[in-house]
């Protein structure tokens, strides 16, 4: 009998003398905030430590490259294992993880044919066979180089053990060097390192065997691709054969999928919001019946503890690995274990975290503003010594976050929202299947506001004078933005509507629909309507569709466009709108698009002036979210969180 709702998920796992407290493993993620010798700083340490505090069984520091000369891809980290202060810093890191009951792990990798950074630095790069890859020429590895690479993995594992790591994750998937050896597409060698599955997997077996022999007690997790996710790459049948050939060599076979260097495979490797929860579990489930000795892990689009419980209970996998899910909510394991799963912030799978890390080298999350700033705030922000009376204007994403953060800090908060419901403009996407986790997040925020002791005034659009009469110590204006109406003749016609209205009135969109605006709002609306079986086209005046600065989400969007065949037209500008359709200027001259309905998706304009009118209604004033600059969920939450954290700290 168990008092736990998810008993299989929280059953300890014992491998050798290592105890994992549950089956939730934090997958490897690239590290930022390293010092000049590529050692972890306190900032990166607390980023990973936060997952240990939240209850994960392991936390895995990602992308430690075993060949800092010829094996480096962009974003890889040269871990100087023999630096003068490296041991002390890594010991500090592993102690921070293990003191909370988690097992610290580190990912070991070699990029092989895709070691672009090494190539750009003038070093030769190597692969199983000679060839040109992503514009760089790779030389074939000699027998001596293969043996040297095996030794490099083992030597790094030795140092990991000395630094206090309890596990190493050997990266044998996603198209990197070991994955290249495993792949029949990349490995056409005719010696003992190529040809049959047994030969292609030899390098992996030798690495795992060597680590076990020379570093006893260190748990070895091997990540593989259960399928490469490309048209020419191998599928799950080959994935099964690979797993069978390595069974018993690693303690854990971590079954991922996809390829890091091909867009169509990347969005399966890192599942986009357009794919279902647990989309890649089928690969582990297909492999596990063939495995006798190693444990099997699965990964990809997992954030629902009920789904994870079913995966373990049904025998599809022994372990569930999570990356983005534990960024959105590092406390997911603890919340699931204690029966508070309703309070979990489920990952939106917008991949802002991944894209932001690639663009800036900084950790971030669209719905968790503490990520990347863990060193500044404890898990429970300290109560302020001088609590204030705070008025928040607007109950959308930014307004709710500001109100919640201020209330958590001990302030007395009133939240005024002009409509009859909290949630803001994104409520219009509540019925969009690929935005289900966004809807869950909004509903959770609404519930949290109700439980936080915040006074909520619905159907209340305050004027500056009314706000002043309430005598707040501080006002946080989060009153949003208005849709842009472009100056196109006929834009006020009866058949024309804005995207927000269209989302909530899809039943009116019979016949042909044309969307003017190929930004993210227009594209995602077009995908939604197309998936509903509607006849729809998206028209964009620029020379390409604009998915914003989120490069990873853009990959997912483009993959979905290829899948559902949404009609799009670029370099096409609307000239006039009529009852029968839209006349445009296209690349080859004037063109007419018949349309029963025309949707305007031309962006949003922040209500800056309206918000600024409240600047003198309280001693302290902040303007956050779309009314400062209409951007995205991340910026709305970040600005709101920052403003609320500052309240009462200096006055």
Kindly report, residue by residue over 403-423, the tens digit of the pLDDT. Answer: 999 999 999 999 999 999 999
**Chain centre distance of CA 230:** 21
Kindly report, residue by residue over 178-198, the tens digit of the pLDDT. Answer: 999 999 999 999 999 999 999
How far is 255 from 342, CA to CA, in rounded Å?
Answer: 28
Phi, psi of 494, rounded to the nearest 5 degrees? -65, -20
Helix (H, G, I), strand (E, B) or coil at 564: helix
Contacting residues for 493 by C-beta, under 8 A, at least 6 apart: 577, 578, 579, 598
Binning pLDDT at 50, 70 and 90, where does residue 174 land? very high
**Chain centre distance of CA 501:** 29
Instruction: List strand residue ranges (DSSP E) for 301-405, in order.
Output: 319-322, 389-393
Give the side-chain half-sphere CA count within 13 A for 435: 18
Percentage of the chain beyond pLDDT 70 is 96
Rounded to an integer, the average pLDDT of 278-301 is: 97
Q: Two tokens at 12?
A: 């300890």
Q: Which domains does the chain have, with CATH numbers?
A: 13-360 (3.20.20.70), 389-483+606-646 (3.40.50.720), 496-602 (3.50.50.60)
Closest CA to 616 of 421, 424, 465: 465
How far is 548 from 521, CA to CA, in rounded Å?
Answer: 10
Binning pLDDT at 50, 70 and 90, where does residue 632 land? very high
pLDDT of residue 425: 95
* pLDDT for residue 99 is more than 60: yes
* pLDDT for residue 379 is more than 60: no
pLDDT of residue 29: 84
pLDDT of residue 503: 97
pLDDT of residue 649: 77
How far is 617 from 227, CA to CA, in rounded Å?
Answer: 60
Rounded to an integer, the average pLDDT of 278-290 is: 97
Ramachandran assignment for 511, one of left (phi > 0), alpha (psi -120 to 50 degrees), beta (any other): left
Instruction: Give kind and range of the element (H or E) at residue 465.
Output: helix 464-469
Q: Two tokens at 650?
A: 């200096």
Contact 350, 364 (CB under 8 A): no
Binning pLDDT at 50, 70 and 90, where does residue 42 land? confident
- Considering only 62-71, 221-230, 304-313, which range has the smallest mean pLDDT? 62-71
Binning pLDDT at 50, 70 and 90, where does residue 463 land? very high
DSSP string, 126-186: EESS-EEETTEEEEEPPHHHHHHHHHHHHHHHHHHHHTT-SEEEEEE-BTSHHHHHH-TTT
Helix (H, G, I), strand (E, B) or coil at 463: coil
pLDDT of residue 83: 61
* pLDDT for residue 38 is more than 90: no
* pLDDT for residue 359 is more than 90: no
Rounded to an integer, the average pLDDT of 35-47 is: 81
pLDDT of residue 381: 61
Binning pLDDT at 50, 70 and 90, where does residue 464 land? very high
- Of 36-50, 290-304, 355-369, the range with the highest mean pLDDT is 290-304
Q: Two tokens at 596?
A: 């029963």
How far is 102 from 475, CA to CA, in rounded Å?
Answer: 42
pLDDT of residue 631: 86
Label residue 610 exposed, middle or buried (CB < 10 Å: 0-12, 13-18, 19+).
Answer: middle
Contact 555, 272 (CB under 8 A): yes
Closest CA to 204 of 77, 281, 294, 132: 294
Helix (H, G, I), strand (E, B) or coil at 445: helix
- Considering only 42-56, 261-275, 609-623, which range has the smallest mean pLDDT? 261-275
pLDDT of residue 356: 86
> For the chain, what is the mean pLDDT?
93
How far is 186 from 345, CA to CA, in rounded Å?
Answer: 40
Kindly report, residue by residue over 100-140, the tens digit of the pLDDT. Answer: 999 999 999 999 999 998 999 999 999 999 999 888 999 99
The size of the chain, in residues, is 651
Contacting residues for 254 by C-beta, under 8 A, at least 6 apart: 169, 221, 222, 223, 224, 297, 299, 319, 321
* pLDDT for residue 82 is more than 70: no
Contact 273, 348 (CB under 8 A): yes
pLDDT of residue 102: 98
* pLDDT for residue 519 is more than 70: yes
pTM: 0.93
Distance set, CA 85 to CA 42, 81, 163, 350, 472 (Å): 14, 9, 11, 38, 51
């Amino acid at each position: 009998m168990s008092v736990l709702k998810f008993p299989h998920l929280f059953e300890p796992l014992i491998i050798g003398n290592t105890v994992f407290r549950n089956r939730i493993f934090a997958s490897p993620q690239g590290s930022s905030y390293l010092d000049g010798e590529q050692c972890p700083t306190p900032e990166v340490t607390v980023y990973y430590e936060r997952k240990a505090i939240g209850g994960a069984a392991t936390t895995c520091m990602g992308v430690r490259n075993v060949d800092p000369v010829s094996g480096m891809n962009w974003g890889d980290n040269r871990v100087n294992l023999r630096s003068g202060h490296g041991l002390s810093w890594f010991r500090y890191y592993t102690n921070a993880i293990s003191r909370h009951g988690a097992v610290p792990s580190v990912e070991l990798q070699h990029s092989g044919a895709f070691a672009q950074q090494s190539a750009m630095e003038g070093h030769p790069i190597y692969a199983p066979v000679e060839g040109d890859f992503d514009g760089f020429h790779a030389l074939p590895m000699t027998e001596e180089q293969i043996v040297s690479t095996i030794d490099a993995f083992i030597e790094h594992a030795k140092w990991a053990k000395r630094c206090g790591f309890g596990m190493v994750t050997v990266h044998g998937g996603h198209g990197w060097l070991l994955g290249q050896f495993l792949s029949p597409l990349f490995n056409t060698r005719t010696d003992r390192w190529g040809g049959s599955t047994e030969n292609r997997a030899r390098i992996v077996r030798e690495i795992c065997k060597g680590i076990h022999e020379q570093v006893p007690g260190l748990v070895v997790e091997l990540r593989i691709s259960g399928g490469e996710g490309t048209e020419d790459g191998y599928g799950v049948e080959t994935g099964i054969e690979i797993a069978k050939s390595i069974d018993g060599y690693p303690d854990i076979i971590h079954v991922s999928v996809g390829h890091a260097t091909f867009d169509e495979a990347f969005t399966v490797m890192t599942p986009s919001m357009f794919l279902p929860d647990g989309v890649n579990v089928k690969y582990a489930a297909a492999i596990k019946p063939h495995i006798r000795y190693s444990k099997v892990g699965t990964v990809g689009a997992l954030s629902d503890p009920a789904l994870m419980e079913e995966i373990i209970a049904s025998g599809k996998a022994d372990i569930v690995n999570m990356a983005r899910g534990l960024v959105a909510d590092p406390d997911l394991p603890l919340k699931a274990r204690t029966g508070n799963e309703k309070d979990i912030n489920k990952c939106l799978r917008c991949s802002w975290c991944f894209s932001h890390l690639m663009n800036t080298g900084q950790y971030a999350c669209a719905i968790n503003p503490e990520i990347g700033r863990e060193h500044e705030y404890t898990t429970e922000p300290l109560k302020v010594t001088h609590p204030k009376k705070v008025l928040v204007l607007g109950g959308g994403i930014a307004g709710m976050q500001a109100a919640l953060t201020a209330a958590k800090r001990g302030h007395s908060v009133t939240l005024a929202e002009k409509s009859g419901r909290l949630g803001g403009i994104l409520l219009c996407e509540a019925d969009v299947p690929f935005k289900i986790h966004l809807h869950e997040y909004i509903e959770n925020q609404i519930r949290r506001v109700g439980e936080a002791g915040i006074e909520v005034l619905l159907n209340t659009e305050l004027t500056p004078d009314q706000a002043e009469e309430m005598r707040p110590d501080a006002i946080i204006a989060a009153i949003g933005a208005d849709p842009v109406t472009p100056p196109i003749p006929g834009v006020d016609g009866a058949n024309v509507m804005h995207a927000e209205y269209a989302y909530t009135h899809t039943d009116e969109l019979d016949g042909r629909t044309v969307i003017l605006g190929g930004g993210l709002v227009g594209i995602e609306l077009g995908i939604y309507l197309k998936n509903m079986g509607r006849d729809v086209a998206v028209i964009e005046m620029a020379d390409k569709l604009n998915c914003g600065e989120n490069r990873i989400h853009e990959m997912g969007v483009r993959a979905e466009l290829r899948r559902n065949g949404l009609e799009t037209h670029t370099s096409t500008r609307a000239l006039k709108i009529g009852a029968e359709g839209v006349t445009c200027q296209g690349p080859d001259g004037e063109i007419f698009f018949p349309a029963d309905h025309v949707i305007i998706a031309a962006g949003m304009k922040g209500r800056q002036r309206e918000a600024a009118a409240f600047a003198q209604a309280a001693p302290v004033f902040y303007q956050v979210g779309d009314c400062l600059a209409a951007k995205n969920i991340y910026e709305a939450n970040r600005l709101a969180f920052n403003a609320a954290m500052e309240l009462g700290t200096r006055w």
